[in-house]
Structure 1
Amino acid sequence: MLGRIDPMVRLLVAAIALAIVLPASGRYHDAAQWIANAAVFLLFFLNGLRLPRGDVLAGLGNWRVLGALALWCFGAMPLLGWGLWHAAGLVLPPLLALGFLYCAVLPSTVQSATAYASLAGGSVALSVVAAALLNIVGVFASAPIFALLGGAAGAAMGLQGLFKVIAILLLPFALGQALQRRFGGWVANHRLLIARVDRVSIATAVYVAFSGAVAERFWTRVDGMGWAGLIAGVALLLALAHGGAWLLGTLMRRPRPERITILFAGAQKSIAMGAPLATILFRPNAAGIVLLPILLYHLAQMVIAAPLAARLARDS
């Protein structure tokens, strides 16, 4: 039974459980934060190494779909998240409600969006390029959009925050791209090892973020009605994201394979971007709370992606 669960989901659950049972606190938290930052640096360095520039240039030809996806992910979805943040604030603690806006400004996943689009009969080449480009744009755009829409409640993008984003996200990605010709082949030949490093890096960031939340006893801030509101809000955001992305492809009158690509690339949200960025933007005692909606969203999208892809494949 456990073998059927996505490895990333298992690692996320394990990281949260470890943070609850054995949180990194006091002087140990600083060491854990340093390790998490190093893991995030490595994660984005590897992303830079494995993203072929040739594939990006080849996929740029379908500018209509890529442009529409970028507007959807970094325009329409953040506005939906902004509205949900204010609505959820009526029943949820402020930081937890803010997590809906944070979830909405993140780019799509890369691996799972591409894999499920392929299973559903989507355009694989377009899926790879779309997911990759959305993540590149997300490195530059997600934090500023969140700060802009979040206002005083959002993470302030001051010089220190900007420096962290550049040093821990942008710099390693640029280094990976620069060294791609030399080491890209090695990365391509060790995909299983790289995938494991990715997962451990993300899980480390989640563990550190949740350690801060546990230290603040976040569960005492959310009652039964609050948890119900959190689940309902995530379900609503999932429905709006999937329904809106499918409607976007339909209104554009794109071929069915491209509509499937738009669906998965436009509706899925990346914990690979969300967890590391949260540890950079938020205080240790706030990051874990803000991450709750994206963690629940990510787990839910993994649960519904497989049957949705199978249904789309049968209807093709």
Structure 2
Amino acid sequence: MVNIDGQLVEDDKAVLAISNRGYAYGDALFETIRVNSGVILFWEDHYFRLMASMRILRMQIPMQFTPEFLEKEIINLVTENGLMNSSVRVKLIVNRVSGGLYTPSSNEIEYNISVVKLNSNFYTLADQTYEVTLFKDHHVVTDLLSTLKSNNKLVNILGGIFAEENGFDNCLLINSNKMIIEALNGNLFLVKGNVIKTPPLSDGCLRGILRTQLIRILEKLPEYTVEESSISPFELQKADELFITNVITGILPITKFRKKEYDSKISKRLLGILNTRIRLGD
């Protein structure tokens, strides 16, 4: 079952019109959300990111789009799919209603929600090699729009194809200033000694939900210094650790970039702290 504008529809009967502006013009936003046994992780952060993004795109936010309303819509869909005791990946898409060409005829919105079952209720680290490379064919613009989770993801798509064709597990994206901003599927963190860096939003990286969570955790750990500052490609080969974050996989350590191999001690520690916070409902 999927939810289309509040109506539950069987998966094989769910359709979108070809005039849908998310399809026709990329005029849409989405949130990828993790639900564990009926509990939406980091819901407040997801909700406020969605609201802020809709305002930036000049979408008209419906009066009923309260945190309680959307939370109920998500949990009802999880329940209808028989997944209340499972871990679930939820995708909430908001698009402007059909009409107009580049300039829309209305700023009102439509939404749809879909769910997919995940394997584990907590974040885990797989003992595997994970090699990345730089994707240089296209750059991400250093701009406020690049920080939004919109469905304009051609750079990520082409980067994914490049990685697959060349035998890499992922690519790191760079901005127009040749600074590293993120991976194809999440934010990047770099560890050097007791300093943990992640690119700033001003460099064009996604305003990631788990990025926000980890920064909050690190700010409370006196043994580490957390910095939101630009990362050059040169710094990657001097780092002790690199890892990728997103709300679905949690923390994903990078084990190799070019000839450099990395440890994952801090990644494992942070993942343990993250899972503890989830268990405690913090």
Give the TM-score band, short-chain normalised: under 0.3
Instruction: Give the structure with the larger helix fraction.
Output: 1
- Comparing both chains, which one has the higher relative contact order based on Cα–Cα distances under 8 Å and sequence gaps of 6 or more? 1
TM-score between both structures, scaled by the size of structure 1: 0.23
Structure richer in strand, relative to its length: 2
TM-score when normalising by structure 2: 0.25
